[in-house]
Amino acid sequence: MPQNLLEQLRKFTVVVADTGDIEAMEKFRPQDATTNPSLITAAAQLPQYRPIVDGVLLAARKELGVGATEQAVANLAFQRLAIAFGKKILAIVPGRVSTEVDARLSYDTQATIAQARSIIAQYDKEGIGRKRILVKIASTWEGIRAAEVLEKEGIHCNLTLLFGLHQAIAAAEAGVTLVSPFVGRILDWYKKDTGKDFHGADDPGVQSVTAVYNYYKKFGYKTQVMGASFRNIGEIIELAGCDLLTISPQLLAELEATEGELPRKLDPKAAKKLALKKIVVDKAAFDRMHAADRMATDKLKEGIEGFSAALVKLETLLVKRMAEIEYRATAAM
């Protein structure tokens, strides 16, 4: 009986759900799940998740007391909401969930460390051990340095918004658990910059992840590669064999509905045979390589700004929702 592409992919790649939609996770049953501020903001606006949002807001109100402003309550709830979604997700997936540090802290090493420790402490309070949590941090030099400290404390990190080999090498040297190169966003940049379309192995995002994977396997790094941000299943097909791939529900459904042979494209044994040179990436080299890579410079900046904007939107939504809850409570008295 022919197998669909999703079934075949699972044989040599860990499939991760790239969504805040709990119903989608229940349908596709991925090993792990990853969220980001945009996904949490989108999920928080869906009616089926209103009980989660309201529960977090009411708990924050109780903790701060009646004198606290709606803004103060919303700010505390905002920090707790990702944990609440993470807890729900971990009741479904057998593996790990990635929970993101505030993107507005991306260039502040100490603040990133402090918030990552807070995230782990909140999960610990819920009885969830750190083996099941990946703390997501943007792949800035400052973020990578924070991850280096956290990994030594046994806090596992997922370095996100990764677009260049210099970021990947620095992250691996820092001993991070996982990196998430953004395939689709790289493709978007090259399409806009060149006016061309790219397919299959010619896709610059596919080439970028392949280069990171091969470099890691060639030189024996333990850091795993998780391709992310896909635009089509063609990109996923070309990266079959990558350690992990985080895939949206829409593309998971397309893979499940498609039959045909899925050959393994990325293989650690093949990578070991490649003639690659090891690159030393210190702060000066990182800055130099980043400045020389227009795509990585543009997309890292854009990604941090986009995630930061999503957080501002989420805070605004929570203030509004808290006001609605308190109005209803007053009217019912």
Hey, where are the domains in the chain? Answer: 5-327
CA distances from 117 to 78, 144, 170 (A): 16, 15, 22
pLDDT digits (tens, 9 = 90+) for 212-264: 999 999 999 999 999 999 999 999 999 999 999 999 999 999 999 999 999 99
> What share of the chain in percent tops pLDDT 70?
99
- Any residues with CB less than 8 A from the CB of 322 and at least 6 apart, and which? 57, 61, 70, 73, 74, 77
pLDDT digits (tens, 9 = 90+) for 85-117: 999 999 999 999 999 999 999 999 999 999 999
Q: Which residues does the annotation mark as catalytic? A: 136
Domain with residues 5-327, CATH architecture: Alpha-Beta Barrel (3.20)
Cα 246 to Cα 121: distance, rounded to the nearest angstrom: 26
**Lowest-confidence pick of 140-144, 151-155, 177-181, 323-327:** 323-327
Q: 94: how many CB neighbours lie within 10 A of its CB?
A: 10
Q: Cite the DSSP H helix spans in the chain.
A: 5-9, 22-28, 37-44, 50-64, 70-90, 109-125, 141-152, 165-173, 183-194, 204-218, 233-238, 249-256, 268-272, 283-292, 294-331
pLDDT at residue 1 in the model: 64
User: What is the per-residue DSSP string for 103-143?
Assistant: GGGTT-HHHHHHHHHHHHHHHHHTT--GGGEEEEEE-SHHH
Average pLDDT over residues 181-196: 97
Cα 130 to Cα 192: distance, rounded to the nearest angstrom: 40
Q: Which helix (H) or strand (E) holds 15?
A: strand 14-18
> Residue 185's pLDDT band (boundaries 50, 70, 90)?
very high
pLDDT > 80? residue 329: no
Selection from 63, 96, 93 nearest residue 79 by Cα: 63
